[in-house]
């Protein structure tokens, strides 16, 4: 088991400090990050918490998965590696062989 956790279905008002404080009940929090939209700066409703040991990460999953946070039932599980996504082309439909 890895000690990095995915935390989903977060209220948009959740901050990194709130996550750190909450997950500290399960052990030492190495880091907490709330993912936000690049354009608006608004939370995307999920984040990641890294615990100092695998045992603490497992305890956090058992303690917080399905728990209520400000009226939302949060999801906590082991984070998976980010999958590579194809790059989007913003040049109007791709290279048509012409010069730009």
pLDDT 10s digits, 62-74 = 999 999 999 999 9
Domain carrying residue 20? 4-78
Domain count, the chain: 1
Residue 27 Ramachandran class (φ > 0 left, ψ -120 to 50 alpha, else beta) = left
Cα dihedral 10, 13, 18, 23, rounded to 10, equals 0
Residue 96, in any domain of the structure: no
Closest CA to 12 of 57, 47, 53, 54: 47
Closest listed residue to residue 63, CA positions, set 29, 16, 10, 22: 22
Least confident piece of the model among 2-6, 11-15, 74-78, 95-99: 95-99
What is the per-residue pLDDT for 79? Answer: 95
Q: Looking at residue 57, which CATH number applies to its domain? A: 3.30.70.330
Q: How many CB atoms lie within 10 A of CB 25?
A: 11
Q: What is the pLDDT of residues 28-49, one digit of tens each?
A: 999 999 999 999 999 999 999 9
Residue 93 placed within a domain: no
* 47 in a structural domain: yes
């Amino acid at each position: 088991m890895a000690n990095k956790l995915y935390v989903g279905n977060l209220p948009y008002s959740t901050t990194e400090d709130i996550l750190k404080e909450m997950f500290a009940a399960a052990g030492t929090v190495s880091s907490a990050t709330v993912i936000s939209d690049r354009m608006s700066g608004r939370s995307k409703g999920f984040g990641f918490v890294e615990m100092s040991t695998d045992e603490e990460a497992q305890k956090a999953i058992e303690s917080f998965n399905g728990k209520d946070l400000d009226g939302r039932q949060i999801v906590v599980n082991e984070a998976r590696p980010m999958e590579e996504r194809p790059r989007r082309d913003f040049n109007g439909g791709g290279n048509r062989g012409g010069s730009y």
